[in-house]
A and B are shown apart, each in its own frame.
Chain A
């Protein structure tokens, strides 16, 4: 192996990357989101999607859902690193549990007239997207689903006059009667 003169050992790692969705229950206190995001940037982890909102206001609990990619060892590190933060109550790997429902909401603006406009409406119907704003030359669709479905919808809208997209990021919850 050839490596430059260095204080560090430079290693190629070839483990394949995996995508995991993590649900993180945190004390809703100032700076908590900065801590979580800082952990990801500081340690070089990926954030594919992040959503956060207070979920139990009396208890000041917020739920952060993070979609991340990494090798299995890195994913394990991410979970431990999150879990050791003082305001973090629990970290659940929704992907590992194998029983999670993931949803995302997107608002998609499409501009056009004539045949493309009709086509957009038809596709929206097929995807169960709702029209939430309309002018004579545009629509805003609201669509909910997993990220794959939303990506697909956006791809289809592109040639039909896609103007812009706003997405919430992924929220996830486990199936069945138990809470996290």
Chain B
């Protein structure tokens, strides 16, 4: 044998992949095998440092990895086969791109010499995933593999995080080449995200903040992306300035819901006080949020009288939808640190008592109020009880997409970042159940609850089997209104209440379904039984499907109609006959 066989860095492509994952500290990988990745699965079989979680559908692997990533701050790692394995990953990749979630997805590919031949289970994976990844690579030479894998981890996790795909043909997995551990030169010289904010801009921002009469802080998912330190700094900034703060759906938990300056979520289904304060403010500090259309509504009427400061790590987020006065490109943790330092040295807490009393009058409108009911469980009530009964526990919440998602955002109080996993940008039904699995894998002793809807959970229900196999006691808390509630609401408000295909016909018996999977099923329909059932759910050490039968036709308010600005929301009290309101030519955003 040649000397080379003794070189520990000589190995097959498949071995390199496993080795690189371990070198990047990966402990869990979500995946599904197939012909084009069998050499990698063979390597996984022969090691013990990394656990592989076998899902039931590749989409489940993707969302599980997203939940894992969002709740830990580490990248989620996925391994799937070529062709259908890769195409099943497209939804989670697009989801992760929208919500800035770091994922490293390794796909198998047909052997190099067959690429382009319509070979068995061939698809153009890099072509298909190009628009739904931050970057992707097809590796044709085993000696490029180590560099590409290391670069993949760096690209996924640095700057604005996002998903990446490394497509590895089967012959490259078999071929032997030279591995090297991660090193700086593995990264494209053309890729250098900016972390530190410009000092001049920061001084200008502080001066503006200090002169504010009606300020607001509007924070977003970027604060969560930046890591726990950014949330700490954000809290400190709120403390020393005394400013009110609101957040997007993606940023919930960065500032605690119990904090006294908290206005609740803003945007389409945000609180009246948050949206009014956004509209009437004179200085807006946007931290790691992207002026999404669910936030701005009509852009020409968005916060017309304010000067805007925008902190974002991605220059393309700045001035995309809304022109801002002081852009600061950098990591929000870094920039908040600098702002605090300058503020403490040079500025005084501005007197904004008048502004707070204005806010108090908006708060008094109680925009989240709903009509309690003694016979039927109101969905809002169910979330409130879930919150009260899980409060103080080590809890993580994921959601599906729909009304239940909005009610969860409105009524569950998040005290810490990384505790709330939801599909915001893409709005992917079926996200929550597998995401909960990913969270539970990362936090085996925590309470992990997916707040779902009866329609959404059916999209990835098969992952119950994964939860049972890996002893992951996730709780699937279904607000069962037997409708695609969000769709029904829009049909009621916008389409003459013609409920075209939004009724959940032929729902399964969720209790039996849970049992069929080897989990536990619970069902409750009376408000009086709710607390007991929730406590039982918490105490069960198995995956649970909780069928919470709620009022079928409840709508989610408040809501900003379109062609409308933030100060023209519909509140629940005005919505007694919402159809009439919309009939006058007004529509939803």
Contact = CB atoms under 8 A, between A and B. Distances in A.
B189 A89 contact: yes
B587 A27 contact: no
A1 B562 CA distance: 10
A179 interface: no
Interface string A30-60: 1100110010001000000000000000000
A136 B562 CA distance: 68
B189 A86 contact: no
22 contacts: A3-B562, A3-B563, A3-B587, A5-B494, A5-B587, A8-B562, A8-B589, A9-B297, A9-B589, A10-B562, A35-B130, A38-B131, A42-B131, A73-B319, A73-B320, A76-B319, A80-B314, A85-B135, A86-B135, A86-B190, A88-B190, A89-B190
A83 interface: yes
A9 B587 CA distance: 9
B130 A83 contact: no
B127 interface: yes
A81 interface: yes
Contact of A87 (B130, B134, B188): B188
Given A38-B131, A86-B155, A7 B188 contact: no
B300 A11 contact: yes
A87 B190 contact: yes
Given A8-B293, A35-B130, 14 more contacts: A3-B563, A4-B587, A5-B494, A5-B588, A9-B293, A11-B300, A73-B323, A77-B319, A80-B314, A84-B314, A84-B315, A84-B316, A86-B135, A87-B190
Interface string B550-589: 0000000000001100000000000000000000010111
A83 B507 CA distance: 49
A77 B155 contact: no
Interface of A: 1-11, 26-27, 30-31, 34-35, 38, 42, 73, 76-77, 80-81, 83-89
Interface residues of B, number: 34
Contacts of A34: 127, 130
Contacts of B127: 34
Interface string B176-190: 000000000000111
B139 to A, nearest CB: 11
A27 B315 contact: no
B495 interface: yes
A68 to B, nearest CB: 15
B442 interface: no
User: Which of B293, B319, B562, B588 has the most chain A CB atoms closer than 10 A to its own CB?
Assistant: B562
Interface string B488-500: 0010001100000
Contact of A38 (B130, B134, B293, B589): B130
Contacts of A1: 563
Contacts of A9: 293, 297-299, 562-563, 589
Contacts of A31: 126, 130, 138
